[in-house]
Amino acid sequence: MLKKERHDFIMRQINLHNRVLTSDLVQLLNVSEDTIRRDLQELVDENLLYKVHGGALSKSYHSSFDDSTVYARDSKIAIGKKAVQLIKDGMVVLTGGGTTILEFVKRLPQGLSATFFTISPLVAVELAKYNNIEVILIGGLFSKNSQVTYGGQVITQLSEIKADLCLMGTSAIHPEEGLTDTYWEINQLKKAMLACAKKTAVLCISEKLDIALRLRVCPIESISYLITELDLDHESLSRYREKELNIL
Amino acid sequence: MLKKERHDFIMRQINLHNRVLTSDLVQLLNVSEDTIRRDLQELVDENLLYKVHGGALSKSYHSSFDDSTVYARDSKIAIGKKAVQLIKDGMVVLTGGGTTILEFVKRLPQGLSATFFTISPLVAVELAKYNNIEVILIGGLFSKNSQVTYGGQVITQLSEIKADLCLMGTSAIHPEEGLTDTYWEINQLKKAMLACAKKTAVLCISEKLDIALRLRVCPIESISYLITELDLDHESLSRYREKELNIL
DNA sequence: AACTTTATCGCACAAACACGCATAAAAACG
DNA sequence: CGTTTTTATGCGTGTTTGTGCGATAAAGTT
């Protein structure tokens, strides 16, 4: 087995399970521990995973966890500010959940008059502070992990909405693979959200760039705006700039 | 399980519940106390939590929330504790919103397994901290004043629910006039909530006793439990004791 | 004051790791 | 084609890290 194949195998395992043990890989791939360690080190150098004692963890796995520790807050604020530019009076906007979206909401102009649909209770509460914004919370099963509503009922309701713009956070984005996610239900949800908005803006802190997870939400072409905290000419964005995509 | 995963798990517990017991973690993670203590110490070194005798506390706990600014909080806590007694494993419960309900939710037993429907985003978020509670958030227009969803869509959805118990806060209660309210929409909402539950418990701080407002929600007979912070034999309750009503 | 629960410390041991070296296959080169 | 260089892998050795155990101390409880 070639080294490259091993690397691919390891990355598949990581994206599938979010974690991998050195000892398991030794067994599965039938090579020495040293080889695995070297492989992991090389993947770390390529910024593809996180190495810990005993194995390695997915990079995206992290960020999905510690959101309540106001993780990477500065970046999220920067993204939020950029996203505000997309919002005009009279718009009908659909938003997902997550701390990035929350920072965005906090930075909306006071007088803004608009209609917001959201699947996130926390976003709804925050939006309610604006007098001229009408807030519609889409109800359904409530996800303990991602703190948004999900499930069939949500999708049914989404199908009845026609929004001007959909703002969503992201688990992972990749120039070829597009938007991807780990959980089936969230995947379905995002698809439904995309389907009911004329345009979609993806809010994405830079460390979630160039990552592809198990389930495909949509190709990169389905996205209208990509908003990161980086400067427009930052080299990490070059591969996205080639696509038909407005980068903010 | 990798150490890093344990750390993440602990942080999630902390961020969820604001506190965590060493002994619980030992059970949940199936490692020795020493390991947990070392984990906690390391997280302290990373400035992620406070360590106390018996467990650890969230750093953001103190600063983050309104808690102390809640009006008549002690009374509401007392009411919350009493209300918890009504909840049994396997129940389907419907709740309204408000700070009293919120105090109730915070005092539910950890292991409780039940289904909760709610019209309050904040209540939903709080309920999501319990692993064995299924939370369904009822969606619709979001009221800026009362921080609950309301309107036709909510009422339609309520009509499809059959709950064992409905817990609601109250604007006013009167021995003759029953439950009353000021706003038309909230009035309609409460009627719909009552209609879909076998029994109803009203959570009510004593100062809202003996008040009648403009719109009638229901006669006193429609209520199964009245929960206040007062002792059972307090004289303010005498006129309610005469009715067919369980007083807690 | 007696007792129970938690913490702390030193130690032991196994698993995971890093580093240098040896080997062999693959690639590069004249 | 033969020689050199590079790359990939495994092995041995010593080191570090993670974990549990027992004894003792400190903090809470009654």
Which of A25, A66, A144 should one mutate to test binding to chain B, selecting the residue with the greatest count of B CBs within 10 A? A144
Q: Is the pLDDT of residue A70 over 60?
A: no
For residue B63, pLDDT over 60 is answered with no
Cβ separation of B48 and A54 shorter than 8 Å?
A: no
State both tokens at A84: 């505000």
pLDDT for residue A71: 62
Q: Which residue has the tokens 């034999």?
A: B233
**Of B212, B223, B203, the residue nearest B181 (C-alpha):** B212
Task: Decide if A68 and B15 are in contact by the 8 Å CB cutoff.
Answer: yes
What is the model's pLDDT at position B82? 87
User: What's the mean pLDDT in B116-143?
Assistant: 92
Per CATH, the number for B3-63 is 1.10.10.10
What are the chain A neighbours of B15 within 8 Å (beta carbons)? Answer: 66, 68-69
Reported as a single tens digit per residue, the pLDDT across A189-214 is 999 999 999 999 999 988 788 888 88
Inter-chain contact A142–B135, Cβ cutoff 8 Å? Answer: yes
Cβ neighbours of A199 (radius 10 Å): 16
**Domain boundaries in chain B?**
3-63, 67-247
Q: Which residue of A has its CA nearest to B121?
A: A121
Taking an 8 Å cut-off on Cβ atoms, the answer to whether B125 and A127 are in contact is: no
Nearest to B48 among A62, A69, A140 (CB): A69
**Contacts with B30 (C-beta within 8 Å, 6 or more apart), sequence order:** none
Q: Is the CB of A22 under 7 A from strand D?
A: no
Spatial separation of the C-alpha atoms in residues A122 and A98, rounded to whole Å: 9
pLDDT of B234 reads 85
Question: Mean pLDDT of all residues in chain B?
Answer: 88
What is the mean pLDDT of the segment spanning B70-89? 83
CB pairs under 8 A between A and B: 96
Give pLDDT, residue A65: 40
Give the confidence band of B41 by pLDDT, cuts at 50, 70, 90: very high
Q: What is the pLDDT of residue B68?
A: 53
As a whole number of Å, the end-to-end CA separation of chain A is 43
Residue of A nearest to B120 (CA): A121
Rounded to whole angstroms, how far apart are CA atoms B175 and B173?
Answer: 7
Half-sphere exposure of A170 (CA within 13 A, CB side): 34
Q: Could you tell me where the beta strands, DSSP code E, fall in chain A?
A: 19-21, 49-52, 55-58, 92-95, 114-118, 133-137, 140-142, 149-150, 163-168, 172-174, 178-181, 197-203, 215-218, 225-227, 246-247
The label of the residue with tokens 């080299």 reads A235
Chain C positions with an atom below 7 A of a protein C-beta are 5-10, 15-20
- pLDDT, average across residues B65-88: 76
pLDDT band at A67 (very low <50, low <70, confident <90, very high): very low
For the stretch B165-212, pLDDT in tens is 999 999 899 988 999 999 999 999 999 999 999 999 999 988 888 988
Among A69, A143, A146, pick the best mutation site for testing chain B contact (most B Cβ within 10 A): A69
Minimum-distance CB partner of B122 among A125, A140, A157:
A125
- Measure in Å the smallest separation between the Cα of A9 and chain B Cα atoms: 20
Give residue A62's pLDDT.
Answer: 53
**Longest CA–CA separation in chain A, Å:** 64
pLDDT band at A61 (very low <50, low <70, confident <90, very high): low
Over range A6-23, report the average pLDDT.
Answer: 89
According to CATH, the topology of domain A67-247 is Rossmann fold (3.40.50)
